[in-house]
Amino acid sequence: MNKFTLATLTLALSMGTTLATFPAFADTASKKIALSNNYAGNSWRQAMLTSWDKVTGAAVSSGVVAAADTFTTAENQATEQAAQIQNLILQGYDAIVINAASPTALNGAVKEACDAGIVVVSFDGIVTEPCAYRIAVDFAGMGKSQLDYLSEKIPDGGNLLELRGLAGVFVDDEISAGIHAGVAENPQFKIVGSVHGDWAQDVAQKAVAGILPSLPEIAAVVTQGGDGYGSAQAFAAAGRDVPLIIMGNRHDELLWWKEQKDATGYETMSVSIAPGVSTLAFWVAQQILDGATVPQDLTVPFLKITQDTLEESLETTQAGGVANVEYTLDDAKATIKSSM
């Protein structure tokens, strides 16, 4: 399970649009918030940044905060992101929202920010520095949910191929831990191969293509998001039967799934964190700056798509994007209240 003591949250998610106008906030109208992002090389990260720009742009226009600028490192390197955070401290930001390259390697820079009186809110890729706030999905639970599903769909078990995300990132470690915990509870399944797909379809396709010749028959592919469609393409190109592949809420995955479902009745599930969690992190930072009492650790549900909700989810997912939920100020207040 997650190493952090996370507050339990029951949050009603809505696919509605974010409000475009907000009341003025005297305590935060002059405040500047920065987003420090370590990576933008897949559709989830692009959707995360788009959601941030959409929601924070409206908040800035309405005078809720003075600025909500975005900064993404050129390489997924903790040293580069730490230097970026130090620069943001010097630039006078009042809060820094972080999607971190490492749970621990940024702690020194995060502590510097806190010591300078800056609010630090981490999300998705969270940090362990005690002064920071953390907004996370139960990633281990997300990984284990895949085995819960497979134990029902393939009760006799079989060989699994595991696709991991970016090496060294908290999210990758936690989802993988959940998958392995699920295998331990369902020993009829066996992981016979593991590769890193970096949460990107092209990387995943190459990685799966490289390992397939050495693998026996595969019953299912367990994934982390952004890698399901690439996996399917690799199996097809190798002339092998495409197994049950857990999807990660990306539009290309959902579209491929729908095509297979219509043609052959193909069944699977899809699960991921909503990219719009960045907007929840923004509102949490704003509320802290506004004087609200907020617990250091919050958790949000992961977004799951089933065989029955596939068509509805596909209709509301933009081409090239990810199934998403964006959060409002009221959502943030509800999250904080529920976790107290």
Q: For residue 184, count CB atoms less than 10 angstroms from its CB and return exposed for 0-12, middle for 13-18, buried for 19 or more.
A: exposed
pLDDT at 170: 86
DSSP notation for 140-153: HHHHHHHHHHHHHH
pLDDT at 46: 94
Quote the CA–CA distance of 132 and 126 in Å, as a whole number. 9
149 and 254 inside one domain: yes
Domain membership of residue 205 (yes or no) is yes
pLDDT at 26: 47
45 and 117 inside one domain: yes
Query: Which stretches of the chain are DSSP H helices?
Result: 43-61, 78-90, 107-115, 139-153, 170-185, 201-211, 228-237, 251-264, 277-289, 310-315, 329-339
Domain termination site, one of 225, 255, 272:
272
pLDDT at 137: 83
pLDDT at 76: 84
Q: Which domain holds residue 182?
A: 139-272
In Å, how far are 65, 71, 172, 325 from 175, measured between CA atoms? Answer: 35, 26, 5, 21
0.95 surpassed by pTM = no
Domain termination site, one of 246, 272, 298:
272
Contact 98, 253 (CB under 8 A): no
CATH number for the domain that contains residue 208: 3.40.50.2300
102 and 216 inside one domain: no
Phi and psi angles of residue 200, each rounded to the nearest 5 degrees, phi first: -135, 135
Mean pLDDT by 10 residues, the chain (340 residues): 33 32 62 96 93 98 97 93 98 98 96 98 96 92 97 98 92 96 98 96 97 98 95 97 97 97 98 95 98 94 94 94 94 89
Domain termination site, one of 257, 272, 287:
272
Q: Is 137 helix (H, G, I), strand (E, B) or coil?
A: strand
Contact 270, 317 (CB under 8 A): no
Quote the CA–CA distance of 51 and 35 in Å, as a whole number. 12
Q: What is the pLDDT of residues 298-315, one digit of tens each?
A: 988 889 999 999 999 999
Contact 175, 107 (CB under 8 A): no
pLDDT at 299: 84
